[in-house]
Amino acid sequence: MAHFFLPLFFIFVPVLLLFYMAAEIHSRDRKSALHRWTAIHVATYAIMFFGMFLINVLPQASALLAAHYLGGSTWFLNLMTGFFFLRKFIRYRIPSFLVWIGAIGAMSGLAAVLAGYPGFEIAVRSEPVWKTYERGELLNLWVFALSSYSTLLNLWWFGVAYRKLKAKPWAVLERKRIRLFIIGIAAMMAGIAILQTLSDRLGLTMYFSDDLIAFYMVFVYVGALRYAMVNYDFLSSGGRRYEILFQNASDGIVICDEDSRIMDANPAFLRMSGIAEDRADKSWLRTYITDLYYSLEQPLNKDLFIEAKTSRKPLRLQRRITMRRTNRTLDLDVCIAFFEMDGEVWSFEILKDITVQKSTEEKLIDQALHDQLTGLGNRRKFFEQLLAELQVLENSDSSLTVLMIDLDQFKWLNDTLGHFAGDELLRKVAERLRMAVPENGCVARLGGDEFAVLLPGVRWEQEAEALASELIHQIRKPYLILNRQYLIGASVGISIAPRDGCDAEELLRNADIAMYTAKKAGRDRYQMFMPAQREDSERALALVNGLWTALEGDEFSLHYQPQIDLGTGRIIGVEALLRWNSSELGPVSPDVFIPIAEENGLIVAIGDWVLRKGIEEGKRMMDAGFPELVVSVNVSPRQLKERQFASKVADILREQNFPAGNLCLEITESSAIEDLELSLLICREIVESGVNLALDDFGTGYSSLSMLSQFPFRTVKLDKSLIREIETSPHDAEVVQMIVKLSGLSGIEVLAEGVETKRQFELLNRFECSFAQGYWIGRPMPEPEFLSWMQAAVSREIGGTF
C-alpha cells in the first residue's frame, strides 16, 4: 500500500496541479499563440511526471512501457515545446536557426527513443522507496546536451531582452517578467544541483532520487510562471484585461440598472462627478444617475431612449450638463449600450469629456463668422444672416435693404500712414456703423475697406436712403489717427428685396453695382440700384474678360498718326495708337477699354505690348526709307511706377536694334505727379538712355509750367481742347501763343494735337508752333496703309498741300 499512497500523494497530486495550471493558462485566451505554447509546455511537464507516477504504481512490465512512452518521450517533447515557448515569449526575435537546432535535436532524441536505438534504452530500477528511470549512456548524454543548450539559450536570450528593455523605461512589467524568469531558471538549475549533491553526500538517494528532485524543482520554474501571471499581467485573462481598461480608462464609464441606478463606475466617472475616488466609499452605489447632475437643455427624448433600449441598439448623443457637487458644466459625448442582466436591461454608458473640444470649436466658429480686426460679422456671417432674412421674407409682405459701403481715400491713407493707422481707422469706422445701424440690423466687414449693412423691415425707399445718408454723414466725420485728424468719405450702393431680387447673391451683386456707380458719379454719395446699372456692369465685365484674352488672341493692333514739322511740312514722326477689334464685342474705343484696363491692372501688360509692337513696326518703317522717323508711344501711370521701367525700355530697344533717339515716350502730367520723386528718377534714366520724352495732354489737369523745368521733356503736346477753339476764341489763341513762347524760352518744342482744319494749321504755323498732328494732316492708319501714305506724301510739298 505504501508503494501506492506515497506516489499518489507526492507525485500524482502535484501532477494534477500542473494539469490544472496548463488548463487555466489555455482558458485565459484560447486564440493566443503564447497562451497555447505555454499551456503545452506546462502540460508536457505534467505528462512527464505522470509517467513517473505510473512506473511507481504499475507492475514491472507495464512500468517499462510507461517509462518508454511517457518518461523518455515526453522529456524531448518538453524540450521542444520549451524552445517554441521561448520564441513566443520574448518579443525580441530569436534567430530561427537557434530554435530549430534545439527542436531538431529534441525530435531526433524522441525518434531514437521510440525506435529503441542502441544507447537510447530506458529501464526501470527499483529502489527501497521509489522506482526510477535508468537511461542508456547515449540518451543521458543527449538529454544533458539538450538541457544545457536549452538552459544557456534561455538565459542568454532572456538577458539580451532584458538589456534591450533598459532603453524603454516605461516597460516596467516586461522587465519584471523577464527578470523573474531568469531568476526562476537559475534557481531551478541551482536547486537541482544543490539537492542532488546533498542527497548523495547524506546518503538520501533512496528517498530523494535525481528524477524526484528534478520533478519538484520544476515547480520553481512553473511557480515563476504563475507569479508572473498573477502579479505582472503575464498571460492575463480577458476579464483581467477588461478590468484594467475599466479602471484606467480616461473616459467616464458607468453601469446602471433598469431604473437608472448606478451599479458600478470607474474612477474617471467619479472624478467627473465630483465624487471622491476612495473605493471604500460606496455611498454613490445604487443612487440615481440623474441625482448627480442637471441640464438646462431640453430633456433627453424618452421615446428615443426606449426605442434604443428595446432594440438593443447603441445610443450616441451629446449633452451639456452641470454636476451638482462641483457646479461645473461639462460637454459630454455619451455612448449608451444596453445588455441583459438578471432578467433586466442594464445600460453601459461611456461619457467622454469634450468640454475643451467644444470650447475650441465654438471659438473657431466665432472666428469663422467674425472679422478679427473689427469684431463685426464677416462675409460668411452676413450671407447666412441674409439667407435667413430672405426665408422670413417669403412668408410676409415686408422687405429688406442691403447696403454696400466702400470707403473713399482709404487706400491713400493706408499707404501713406501705414497699416497700423489703416487698421485703427477701420476699427473706428466699424464702431460708427455699429452705433448708426438700428438694433435689428446686421453690420459686417466683407474685406479690405468694404462693409455691408442688412436692415429688415424697410418698407419705403426713402428709409433706405435716409440710413445711407446717415452712414455717409457718420463716416465723413474727422478721425483722430496718430494725434492728427483725417477725413474720408464713403460710397454706398443700395438694393432692396424683393424689388431688386430675392436671391442673396443677386442682392449683394446689385448693391455692389450701385456702389460702383456711386463711385463713378463722384464718390462720397449713395446710389439706389437701377436695372440699367447691371447692363453697364455686365458690359464692363465682358470688357475685362475680353482684355484678358485680347493679347493672346492677337486682337490688338496699332494705328499710326503722322506728326509733321509746321515750318517745312516734313513728316518727322508718328504716334502709335492702340486699337482693339474684339472677336465678341467688335471694335472697342480706347476711351472705353483703357480706363478699365488701368482699373484692373491689365494696362501694364498692354502697355508693354504696345511698346514692343511700336518699336518692332517702327523699325520696319525706318528700314522702308524713313530712317529719321520718331515713333511716339504712350506710357500709362502704372508703367511709370515700375522701378525697372527704364531698363525694360532699354532691353527692348537692344533686342530690336532700334535707335533710342527714334523713340519718344509720352507721359501725362497726372501720372508723373502720383509719385513725383520716383517719376522724376525714371524719366531721367529714360532720357539718359537717349530716348525722347514728351509731356502729353498739356492744357488739362494742373498744366503746371514748373513741370517743364523739373522734368527733362523735349516736347510738350498741347491737348486738342486748347486747339479746338483757337479760330474763334482770342483767349484760347493767346494761351496757345503764350505756351509756345514760354516753351521756346526753355528749349522745349511744342506739338499741337487735334488739328482738324486748314485755319488751325495756319494759325499754329503763325504762332511758331513746332509740330502738329491731327485729322486734317492724317488720320490714324495701320502700318501698311501708313507706309503707302508716307511714300505718297514724300513726293509732294506737304507744307503747301496742307
Taking residue 583's Cβ as centre, other Cβ atoms within 10 Å add up to: 11
- Give me the phi and psi of 288, to 5 degrees please: -70, 135
Percent of the chain with pLDDT over 90: 29
Look at residue 266 and give its three-state secondary structure: coil
In terms of pLDDT, which residue wins out, 431 or 310?
431
Asked whether residue 182 carries a pLDDT value surpassing 60, the answer given is: yes
End-to-end C-alpha distance for the chain, whole angstroms: 155
User: pLDDT for 117-130, tens place per residue?
Assistant: 888 877 777 777 77
Mean pLDDT of the chain, nearest integer: 83
Cell 473706428 maps to which residue?
Answer: 428
**Containing H/E element for 639?**
helix 637-640
Distances from the Cα of 61 to the Cαs of 56, 68, 124, 139, in angstroms?
Answer: 12, 11, 9, 21
Q: Which of these, 575, 572, 556, 566, lies nearest to 696 by C-alpha position? A: 575
The H or E element that residue 30 is part of is: none
DSSP per residue over 496-547, as a string? EETTT-SSHHHHHHHHHHHHHHHHHTTSSSEEE--HHHHHHHHHHHHHHHHH
What pLDDT score does 469 carry? 93
Which residue's C-alpha cell is 503575464? 234
**Grid coordinates representing 308?**
434604443
The predicted-structure confidence for 265-287, as pLDDT tens digits, reads as follows 888 888 888 887 555 667 788 88
Task: Identify the H or E element spanning 631.
Answer: strand 630-634
List Cβ neighbours of 256 (8 Å cut-off, separation of 6 or more): 262, 263, 289, 346, 347, 349
Q: Is the distance from CB of 607 to CB of 551 less than 8 angstroms? A: no
The pLDDT assigned to 234 comes to 60
- State the Cα–Cα distance between residues 315 and 111, nearest whole angstrom: 61
pLDDT digits (tens, 9 = 90+) for 140-150: 888 888 888 88
Nearest to 120 by CA among 189, 168, 71: 71
For residues 267-295, one letter each, b for 16 or more C-beta atoms within 10 angstroms of the residue's C-beta and e for the rest, the string is bbbbebbebeeeeeeeebeeeebeebbee
User: What gap in Å lies between CA 722 and CA 767, rounded to an integer?
Assistant: 14
**Closest by CA position to 371, among listed 387, 360, 382, 385:** 382
Band (pLDDT 50/70/90 cuts) for residue 27 is confident
Contact (CB, 8 A) for 669 and 704:
yes
Question: How would DSSP label each residue in 646-666?
Answer: HHHHHHHHHHHT--GGGEEEE
Could you tell me where the beta strands, DSSP code E, fall in 419-463? 442-447, 450-456
Amino acid residing at 648: K
pLDDT of residue 526: 92
| Whether residue 419 has pLDDT greater than 90 | no
Query: CB of 657 within 8 A of CB of 619?
Result: yes
Lowest-pLDDT choice from 131-135, 190-194, 197-201, 734-738:
131-135
Residues 651-703: tens digit of each pLDDT = 999 999 999 999 999 998 878 777 788 888 999 999 999 999 999 988 776 55
Q: Which residues pair with 551 in a beta bridge?
A: none
| Pairing mode of beta strands 479-481, 484-486 | antiparallel
Which residues partner with 155 through β-bridges? none
User: C-alpha grid cell for residue 409?
Assistant: 481715400
- Mean pLDDT confidence for 485-511: 90
pLDDT digits (tens, 9 = 90+) for 557-579: 999 999 999 988 899 999 999 99
Does the pLDDT of residue 764 top 70, yes or no?
Answer: yes
Task: List, for residues 433-446, the tens digit of each pLDDT value.
Answer: 999 999 889 999 99
d(CA 136, CA 119): 5
How far is 250 from 269, CA to CA, in rounded Å?
Answer: 9
Q: Are 156 and 126 in contact (CB under 8 A)?
A: no
pLDDT of residue 801: 41
Strand ranges in 524-629 using DSSP code E only, listed in sequence order: 526-528, 556-565, 571-582, 586-588
Specify the amino acid at residue 464.
A
Whether the pLDDT of residue 609 is over 60: the answer is yes
Q: What is the DSSP letter of 72?
A: I
C-alpha dihedral (268, 273, 277, 280), degrees to nearest 10:
-120
Give the three cell numbers for residue 550: 485680347
Omega cis (within 30) before 659: no
* Whether pLDDT at 236 is above 60: no
Residue 798: its pLDDT value, please?
Answer: 43
503 pLDDT above the threshold of 50: yes
CB 122 within 8 A of CB 68: yes
Grid cell digits, residue 651: 532691353
SS3 state at 694? strand
Whether 235 contacts 25, CB under 8 Å = yes
CB-based contact 184:220 (threshold 8 Å)? yes
Other beta carbons within 10 Å of 76 = 26
- Sequence-distant (≥ 6) Cβ neighbours of residue 514 within 8 angstroms: 404, 493, 494, 495, 527, 528, 529, 530, 533
Q: Do the Cβ atoms of 563 and 751 come closer than 8 Å?
A: yes
How do beta strands 293-294 and 252-256 pair?
unpaired
Q: Would you place residue 136 in the very low, low, confident or very high pLDDT band (cuts 50, 70, 90)?
A: confident
Residue-level pLDDT at 434: 93
The position carrying cell 522529456 is 75
The neighbour count for residue 449, using CB atoms within 10 Å, is 21
Write out the three cell numbers for 254.
Answer: 458607468
What are the backbone dihedrals phi and psi of residue 635, each rounded to the nearest 5 degrees, phi first?
-115, 130
- One-letter amino acid at 403 equals L
Q: C-alpha distances in angstroms, 156 versus 186, 217, 660, 682?
A: 12, 21, 90, 84
**Which of 688, 690, 699, 608 has its CA nearest to residue 652?**
608
Q: What is the rounded distance in angstroms from the CA atom of residue 66 to the CA atom of residue 124? A: 10
Q: Which residue has the higher pLDDT, 421 or 79?
A: 421
Look at residue 800 in the predicted model and tell me its pLDDT: 37
The helix (H) or strand (E) run that includes residue 32 is none
Burial class (CB in 10 A: 0-12, 13-18, 19+), 348: middle
Query: What was the pLDDT predicted at 343?
Result: 60
What is the pLDDT at residue 501? Answer: 85
Give yes or no for a contact between 562 and 574, defined as CB atoms under 8 angstroms apart. yes
Residue 448 has pLDDT above 80, yes or no: yes
For residue 802, the model assigns a pLDDT of: 40
For residue 298, what is its C-alpha cell? 431640453
Mean pLDDT of all residues in 250-265? 88
Position 235 confidence tier, pLDDT thresholds 50, 70, 90: low
- pLDDT: which is higher, 395 or 342: 395
CA distance 521 to 493: 12
Distance CA 517, CA 406 (A): 12
